[in-house]
Amino acid sequence: MARVVVEVMPKPEILDPQGKAVTGALARLGFDGIAVRQGKRFELEVDGELTAERIDAIHQAAETLLANTVIETFVVHVADEFVAEEASEGASA
Amino acid sequence: MARVVVEVMPKPEILDPQGKAVTGALARLGFDGIAVRQGKRFELEVDGELTAERIDAIHQAAETLLANTVIETFVVHVADEFVAEEASEGASA
């Protein structure tokens, strides 16, 4: 069982209405001077070993399904830990 | 200008219908043996220096606005690079 993370973000030249809304909400809550862009995070549990072909397939999957490459960029990372474990270790800073 | 990333994922014990839908779609496209959970990624550009108080404030912001801590966990990372730069460097594997 291998773990892979795909991170998808709107391209810099693309407007990000969700991020703008969050930025505005943060300012209204008193958190000033923070500009936010919002994207997606996918945590993948992959059966079997993580061969080069398997990573290529995940790349292809990210390109066809997880990201819309017209307006989004993505990166694929092999991961040791997922957010839930990191958070429970208190390594959240 | 400092950069901080907040990653938000559904807690392990919480059903994740979005992730389930993606898992099913991947299988139908021929990408077998991949289980997906979907969460959110926030890229924050923070004005000024990143003091301990500033990071505390971002933690608080994540807890109140970015994550629903009843059903989601989050981690806060200080980041060197955002996804767009990583992707353009071709460091996407």
Q: Which of A36, A38, A42 sits opposite B38 (nearest CB)?
A: A42
H or E segment to which residue B26 belongs: helix B17-28
pLDDT in tens, B30-81: 999 999 999 999 999 999 999 999 999 999 999 999 999 999 999 999 998 8
Yes or no, beta carbons of A9 and B35 under 8 Å apart: no
Band of residue B88 on the pLDDT scale cut at 50, 70, 90:
confident
Under DSSP, is residue A42 helix (H, G, I), strand (E, B) or coil? strand
Asked whether residue B48 is assigned to any structural domain, the reply reads yes
CA distance A14 to B22: 24
Tokens for B73?
A: 């966990």
- For residue B40, give the nearest of B12, B56, B19 by alpha carbon: B19
Does residue A27 lie within any of the structural domains? no
B78 contact partners, CB below 8 Å, separation of at least 6: B2, B3, B4, B5, B50, B55
Whether A19 is in a domain gets the answer: no
Instruction: For residue B57, give how far its alpha carbon lies from the nearest alpha carbon of chain A (Å).
Output: 7
Give the chain A residue nearest B12 (alpha carbons): A84
Measured distance CA(B1)–CA(A57) in Å, rounded: 37
- ipTM for this prediction: 0.92
Residue B39 tokens, joined: 């969460």
H-helix or E-strand spanning residue B38? strand B34-46
Residues of chain B found within 8 Å of residue A64, distances taken between Cβ atoms: 29
| Residue A21 included in any domain | no
Token output for B87 = 């992707």
Instruction: Quote the CA–CA distance of B88 and B93 in Å, as a whole number.
Output: 12
Q: Do A76 and B58 touch (CB under 8 A)?
A: no
Residue B93 lies in a domain: no
In a domain, A82, yes or no: yes
Domain assignment present for residue A56? The answer is yes
Full residue range of the structural domain in which residue A67 is found: 2-13+40-88
Q: How far is the alpha carbon of A42 from chain B, nearest alpha carbon, in Å?
A: 5
B93 pLDDT higher than 80: no
Q: Which of A11, A60, A82 sits opposite B9 (nearest CB)?
A: A82
CATH number of A49's domain: 3.30.1280.10
Residues of chain A with pLDDT below 50 are: 91-93
Which residues in chain A are contacts of B53 at CB distance < 8 A?
none
Q: Give the rounded percent of residues in chain A with a pLDDT score beyond 70.
A: 96
**Is A84 domain-assigned?**
yes
Q: Domain count of chain A?
A: 1
| Nearest CB to A35; choose among B19, B45, B48 | B45
